[in-house]
């Protein structure tokens, strides 16, 4: 389909250093309080040490909330409870510091970056640093047409890779990954249903904004129709993203794979990031070792994807607003794990 060889990722991506993880486990056994007393914080500290290749683990000081933005043509079917203005309203709220995610990012000390991949607005309406990777205005209606042309899918995927390189090169030490999309959960549900070999009704949820029963039925029908189009291209992950994903989902997938190449750990948020992670896992089976599942979003498709990748969410607090919000709530837990692993005294 393209000149981009996804098979290279399987070779380039290595697991976090298992030797360093064993050293971290031995270091933890000598600390106060006793091993096991800190629950998952111990596990997180050891995971971070392996990802960083350092014992004791270094503090997480340059976390970044990274949000890929895009509109999806399938939203015109009434499958989403998102704003009528589309994803541009979500982007503006984050940039103005007025969204839940923006508030939490300030509290957690995380910088915020928004990457517009396919927002349906004039690019002049948003800052140039937000729109410079944009591929198109809106992605296609996946129930009746491809989300992207082949070259657009590759451009979006490469843009995600470029963002991963930019973040790694700038010193970002942990990424909280989310999306700003309208209709994105429908595309995500389609991808997960295709990759898990299940039916539309099993993966159809009500989205971060919440939808009524009639909208749920429309969403289920859209996923069913998108699934018929997605199944024949399951052997080519880039073609799958072009058929049933979108520019934002293709970019997130590229970002996840390249961040694993660059040894940059990531906290996943909701069903959209989980769907992209599942696609990425099909490309490189070691890649999920670099990711944490931040939270349970309540979307059945997310639960199926995380189960397939053996990722156990850190939090289950009923937050389903999306936009990285739930994953941001997990960030202090990860930061605490790093601080405890580095600063607790050794038992006499």
β-strand partners of 174: 63
The model's pLDDT over 108-167, given as tens digits with 9 standing for 90+, comes to 999 999 999 999 999 999 999 999 999 999 999 999 999 999 999 999 999 999 999 999
Average pLDDT, the chain: 95
The pLDDT tens digits for 17-43 are 999 999 999 999 999 999 889 999 999
* Residue 80 exposed, middle or buried by CB count within 10 Å (0-12, 13-18, 19+): buried
| Helix residue spans in 73-199 (DSSP H) | 87-95, 100-108, 128-131, 150-170, 184-196
Q: How crowded is residue 201: how many other Cβ atoms within 10 Å of its Cβ?
A: 14
Q: Per residue in 70-109, pLDDT tens?
A: 999 999 999 988 888 999 999 999 999 999 999 999 999 9
Contact between residue 90 and residue 130 where contact means Cβ atoms under 8 Å apart: no
175 with 64: CB under 8 angstroms?
A: yes
What is the per-residue burial (b if ≥16 Cβ within 10 Å, else e) of 207-218?
bbeebeeebbeb
* Residue 342, both tokens: 């580095």
Has residue 1 got a pLDDT over 60?
no
Calculate Rg over the CA atoms of the chain. Answer: 19
Residues 181, 322: Cα–Cα separation, whole Å: 9
Neighbouring residues of 11: CB distance < 8 A, sequence distance ≥ 6: none
**Is 323 in the active site?**
yes
Tens digit of pLDDT for each residue in 185-211? 999 999 999 999 999 999 998 775 668
pLDDT at 241 > cutoff 60:
yes
d(CA 73, CA 76): 6
CA nearest neighbour of 63 among 100, 99, 107, 111: 111
DSSP per position, 139-172? B--TTTS-SS-HHHHHHHHHHHHHHHHHHHHHT-
Domains and CATH numbers, the chain: 14-58+339-343 (1.10.1610.10), 63-333 (3.40.50.10210)
φ, ψ for residue 206 (rounded to 5)? -110, 5
pLDDT at 224 over 80: yes
Q: What percent of the chain has pLDDT over 70?
A: 98
- Percent of the chain at pLDDT > 90 equals 89
Which entry of 46, 167, 239, 323 is annotated as an active-site residue?
323
Mean pLDDT score, 158-182: 98
pLDDT given for residue 80 in this prediction: 85
């Amino acid at each position: 389909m393209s000149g981009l060889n996804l098979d290279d990722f399987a070779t380039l991506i290595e697991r976090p250093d298992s030797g360093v993880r064993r050293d971290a486990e031995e270091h933890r056994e000598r600390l106060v309080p006793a091993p096991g007393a800190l629950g998952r914080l111990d596990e997180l500290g050891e995971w971070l040490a392996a990802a960083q290749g350092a014992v004791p683990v270094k503090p997480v000081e340059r976390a970044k909330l990274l949000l890929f933005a895009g509109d999806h043509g399938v939203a015109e079917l009434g499958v989403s409870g998102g704003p009528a203005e589309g994803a541009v309203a979500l982007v503006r709220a984050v940039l103005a510091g007025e969204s839940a995610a923006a508030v939490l990012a300030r509290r957690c000390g995380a910088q915020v970056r928004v990457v517009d991949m396919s927002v349906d607005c004039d690019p002049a309406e948003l800052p140039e640093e937000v729109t410079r990777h944009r591929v198109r205005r809106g992605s296609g209606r996946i129930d009746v047409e491809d989300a992207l042309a082949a070259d657009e899918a590759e451009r979006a995927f490469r843009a995600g890779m470029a963002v991963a390189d930019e973040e790694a090169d700038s010193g970002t030490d942990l990424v909280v990954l989310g999306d700003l999309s309208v209709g994105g959960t429908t595309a995500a549900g389609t991808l997960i249903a295709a990759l898990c070999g299940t039916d539309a009704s099993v993966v159809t949820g009500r989205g971060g904004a919440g939808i009524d029963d009639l909208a749920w039925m429309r969403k289920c029908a859209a996923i069913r129709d998108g699934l018929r189009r997605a199944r024949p291209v399951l052997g080519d992950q880039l073609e799958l993203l072009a058929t049933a994903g979108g520019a934002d989902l293709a970019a997130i997938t590229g970002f996840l794979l390249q961040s694993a190449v660059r040894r940059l750990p990531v906290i996943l948020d909701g069903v959209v990031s989980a769907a992209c992670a599942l696609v990425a896992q099909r490309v490189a089976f070691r890649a999920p070792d670099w990711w944490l599942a931040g939270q349970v979003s309540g979307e059945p498709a997310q639960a199926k994807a995380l189960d397939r990748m053996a990722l156990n969410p850190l939090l289950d607090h009923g937050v389903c607003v999306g936009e990285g919000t739930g994953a941001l709530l997990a960030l202090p837990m990860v930061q605490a794990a790093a601080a405890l692993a580095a600063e607790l005294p050794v038992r006499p």
